[in-house]
Structure 1
Amino acid sequence: MSTQELFVAAARNCLSAGRKSLSASQCLDLAAQVLAVDSGLKPALLYDSNSANAGQVQQYLSSLQSSQLLSRSLLTLDLNGNPLIVNPAAARLSVEQLIHHRNVAVIDVCYLLEKPTIIDPTRTELNSMAQGLLLLLREMEHLGQKAEIPYCIDEKSEDWNLCTVFGLLLGYPITYWFDQTRSFENCLSMTPLMVIKASATWQADMVGHGCCLYSFSVPAVLLTDVQPQLENWKLCLQEKFQQQNILKDLTVCQSTVTLPSVCL
């Protein structure tokens, strides 16, 4: 079997939910994403292709690792029922960008605000969450190749804002936060958002498959304020891209959207 066929077979064998399995295109897109995590181009992947659970994602990962298509450094994280494939070392560095280097901008989008506002990452609830996440990733790094089941975290993360956590784990230079003790609504309705996407091509078996590596947004009104974080993210991504040979043709583009409601 070709490399692409092996990835498709692993996805269809391990990740079926109900009667419907993933399409070949979905399998290849997932493969390119996981390879990007394995190479350090992105720190983690939030699995949302279908309703497969963390146990199934772990089976998929183990199958590819057994076939030596992926390194043993990748682990499965079950975060309140949300399965993620994580490169613990890369994810730890991503969180440290917020704690130590201020290279991640945190934007408060609480529904009570007139407009989104950048907040200090040393704010007590943010810092506590980031430190807890950092400790979790260090534990996962220490666990390493011994992991055979998903690393599950429930109670530890009860007070975490998952929107913020996902932004950090996925390596975004911009992440949203809101006071979830008040409401899960936000103030982004009809707010112009700059959507930034990074895409590349996975060239396997002489056939190229395009995939989106990153997709995140920033309120257009704050674009100038977060430009340093965006430029640093783009520069780091380009440097990492040059250090690997799995994906080709990196492109970063942006567009503006305005939506009646935004779900975070």
Structure 2
Amino acid sequence: MSTPELFVAAARQCLSIRRKSLSVPQCLDVAAQLSAVDLALKPTLLYDANSAGADQVHRYLRLCQSSQLVSECLVTLDLNGNSLVLNPVEVRSNLERMVHGGGPVVIDVCRSLDEPAVTEPFRAGLKTIAQDLIFLLEGFDAGKEVDQGIYVAERSDDWNLSAVFGLLLGYPATYWFDQTDSFENCLAMTPLTVTTASATWQADDATVRKCCLYSFSIPAVLQKETQSHLEDWKLTLEERFQQQNTLKELTVCQSAVTLPSVCL
């Protein structure tokens, strides 16, 4: 079987829901994302192709690893019912950067604000979460215990998942809001700049697919305050892209949107 056929077979064997399998394009999209994580072009894949559970995503990853489609170092994370595949070396590097004062810009989008604002006080909470995740990753960054996924239990109930996802996914900026007050935010009708990074994934001579590696937004009003972080993120992505040959034709573009509501 060819590489694309192996990826499709693994997805259909492990990720089907009530006898309904992913389509071939969906299978290949997941495969391209997984390959990007394996190549450290992105630290994490947040699985959302269908409602397959964490156990299913873990079996899919293990089957891809046993077929030598991706390396053994990747691990799965069940975060409050959300399934992720991590490159633990890259994720841990991002988490440690956050703990030591670096990491993404934290943007306060609480509903009580007139407009979003860069915040420092909320960074302390995100640092604590980063430390908890580093502890969970102990031993996995060396490729050990890959037969067991990582499960975040009750400790994540109070975590702001929007901010945590931004951190795990390697975004240069992440949204935070006080969920003890409300899960609503102040981004409605706020001009946003959406950054999208895409590449071409060529699994074999006959299979070429466009793959979206990143897509995130930053409020336009905070463009100056976040510009240096965005430029550093782009430079790092370009440098890593040049160190591999599986994905080609990297494109980073921006667009402006204003939405009546934004769900985080």
Shorter-normalised TM range: over 0.9
Match of residue 13 from structure 1? 13
Per-residue displacement from partner, 1:106-129 (whole Å, max 9, x unpaired)?
Answer: 100000111001011674323222
Q: Deviations over 1:59-115 (max 9, x none)?
A: 111111111111110001101111100111101112233333534111000001110
1:118 and 2:122 correspond: no
Between the aligned partners of 1:76 and 1:15, the Cα distance in structure 2 is 14
Q: Distance in 1 between matches of 2:199 and 2:62?
A: 25
Q: Secondary structure, in 3 states, of the residue corresponding to 1:179? A: coil
For residues 167-182 of structure 1, what are the structure 2 equivalents within 5 Å?
167-182=166-181
Q: Give the deviation of 1:157 after TM superposition.
A: 1.6
1:127 is paired with a residue whose SS is helix
Separation in 1, partners of 2:123, 2:74: 31
- Greater mean alpha carbon deviation, residues 119-128 or residues 91-100: 119-128
- Asked whether the 8 Å contact 2:136–2:150 carries over to 1, the reply is no
Cα contact 1:89–1:137 (8 A) shared by 2: no
Amino acid at match of 1:28: L
1:16/1:197 CA distance change after superposition, 3 Å: same
1:17 aligns to what SS in structure 2? coil
TM-score (norm 1): 0.95
Aligned residue pairs total: 263
| Deviates most, 81-90 or 96-105 | 96-105
State percent identity of aligned pairs. Answer: 61
- Structure 1 residue ranges without an equivalent (≥5): none
Alignment of 1:125-144 (within 5 A): 125-141=125-141, 144=143
> Residues 4 and 16 (structure 1 numbering): CA distance in 2 closer, same or farther, change over 3 Å?
same
SS at match of 1:244: coil
Q: Distance in 2 between matches of 1:167 and 1:184?
A: 16
Give the distance between the partners of 1:64 and 1:41, measured in 2 at CA: 18
In structure 1, the partner of 2:246 is 246
Asked if 1 retains the 8 angstrom alpha-carbon contact of 2:110 and 2:186, the reply is: yes
The reply to whether residue 184 of structure 1 matches residue 183 of structure 2 is: yes
AA at the equivalent of 2:118: I
For residues 46 and 122 of structure 1, the distance between their equivalents in structure 2, rounded to whole angstroms, comes to 23
Aligned-CA RMSD value: 1.4
Q: Distance in 2 between matches of 1:231 and 1:175?
A: 15
2:80 is aligned with what amino acid?
N
TM-score of the superposed pair, with normalisation by structure 2: 0.95
**Distance across 2 between alignment mates of 1:121 and 1:111:** 17
What SS does the aligned partner of 2:20 have? coil
Separation (CA, whole Å) in 2 of partners of 1:178 and 1:169: 17
Is the aligned partner of 1:166 residue 2:169? no
Cα distance in structure 2, aligned partners of 1:236 and 1:114 = 33
Q: Which amino acid aligns with 2:238?
A: Q
Secondary structure of the 1:168 match is helix
* Matching residue of 1:213: 213
